Amino acid sequence: MKNNDKILLRGGSLFVCIGLLLAWCLIGSYSGVSYVKAVFPGDPQRILQAHLYFLYMGALTLGLRATELPLYWHIKWSMVIGAFTFSGIFLVSAMFPATDPRSDLYMPELKINDIAHYLSRFSFIITTYGFGGAGISLFRYTVSNK
């Protein structure tokens, strides 16, 4: 197994599994299944967004793993953590509609929303560092390996 493989393979595969699980939650939400509604009382569109992002991130992570490029450990970890937290933001909005700015139940005055706001920005930075770092590494690799 190559040096990249473990973390990216585990991360990418888990994202695919979570994406599929969310597809079932979406069906449950549309079908009005009570326990799904209890867990995700917010907009089902948010579950759909999370489902799609987990699949996109899964495909990208597995695709980048397939390049067999030697990536730094901090870039690999940032990719995996960033992909998870970035996609998870939509799940939080579906679980707690009071934190979803697009929801009628949104409460901007809540302290927790300020924290959620900074956490989501932090997640964007980690995702950018991970995937941006992988993008730059990929580009640099093609320049240094003539």
Note whether 92 binds other proteins by CB under 8 A: no
The residue range among 8-16, 34-42, 90-98, 106-114 that interacts with other proteins, by the rule CB under 8 A, is: 8-16
Q: Single out the residue of 33, 39, 62, 81 in contact with other proteins (rule: CB under 8 A).
A: 62
Closer of 74 and 140 to other proteins (Cβ): 140
Note whether 45 binds other proteins by CB under 8 A: no
Residue 66 CB contacts under 8 Å (≥ 6 apart), including other chains: none
Burial zone of 51 (CB within 10 Å; 0-12 exposed, 13-18 middle, 19+ buried): buried
Tokens of 145: 């390996």
Note whether 84 binds other proteins by CB under 8 A: no
As measured in angstroms, the least distance from the Cβ of 34 to other proteins is 19
The residue range among 1-9, 32-40, 88-96, 107-115 that interacts with other proteins, by the rule CB under 8 A, is: 1-9
Closer of 19 and 42 to other proteins (Cβ): 19
Q: What's 45-106 look like in SS3?
A: HHHHHHHHHHHHHHHHHHHHHHCCCCCCHHHHHHHHHHHHHHHHHHHHHHHCHHHCCCCCCC
Q: Single out the residue of 25, 47, 50, 55 in contact with other proteins (rule: CB under 8 A).
A: 55
Distance CA 70, CA 93 (A): 36
